[in-house]
Amino acid sequence: MRLKRIAPTFPVRDVRVALAYYKGLGFSTREYDEPVYGFVSHGDVEIHVGIVPDNKTIGPATAYLYVEDADELAREWTLAGGHVRAPEDTEWGQREGVLIDPDHNIIRFGSPLPR
C-alpha cells in the first residue's frame, strides 16, 4: 500500500473565523457542514479545521510546512496580519519560522540553509 498525502486537522473555536484568517494569508478556503468543519489549501498543502465543542478541552495542533524560502513566506504572512515568529537558522540545516493562528495552532515552516 502506498500513502498519498496527509492533511493535519486543527481544532478551532469558530470555523468561519479560522477560514477567514487563512484566506487572508493566501489560502483557498471552503466550508463543510454548517460551519463545523472546513478546509484551507494552497497548492498541494491542505489543512482541515474543525470546531471543538464547548465542553471539550483540546490543545493546539502543529504541522510542519516545507517551503522554498522561509524568510519570504514570513514577510508575506506578516504583511497579511499573521502572528509570525521570524525564521532562524537551525543546527539541522533548516531556516525555520513559526505561524500561530488565532486558536494557537502552530505551523512551523522551513527551508534548507544554503550550502
Residues 6+ apart with CB under 8 A from 15: 31, 35, 36, 37, 38, 49, 50, 51
CB 88 within 8 A of CB 97: yes
How do the pLDDT tens digits run along the chain, 115 residues long?
887 888 999 999 999 999 999 999 999 999 987 889 999 999 999 999 999 877 676 788 999 999 999 999 999 999 999 999 999 999 999 999 999 999 999 999 999 998 7
Identify the CATH assignment for 9-112 out of 3.40.50.720, 3.40.630.30, 3.10.180.10, 1.10.287.130. Answer: 3.10.180.10
Distance (Å, rounded) from C-alpha 97 to C-alpha 84?
Answer: 7
pTM, full prediction: 0.89
Distance (Å, rounded) from C-alpha 32 to C-alpha 25?
Answer: 20
Largest CA distance in the chain: 50
Distance (Å, rounded) from C-alpha 102 to C-alpha 93?
Answer: 29
At 94, list the grid cell. 533548516
Q: Which helix (H) or strand (E) holds 37?
A: strand 37-42
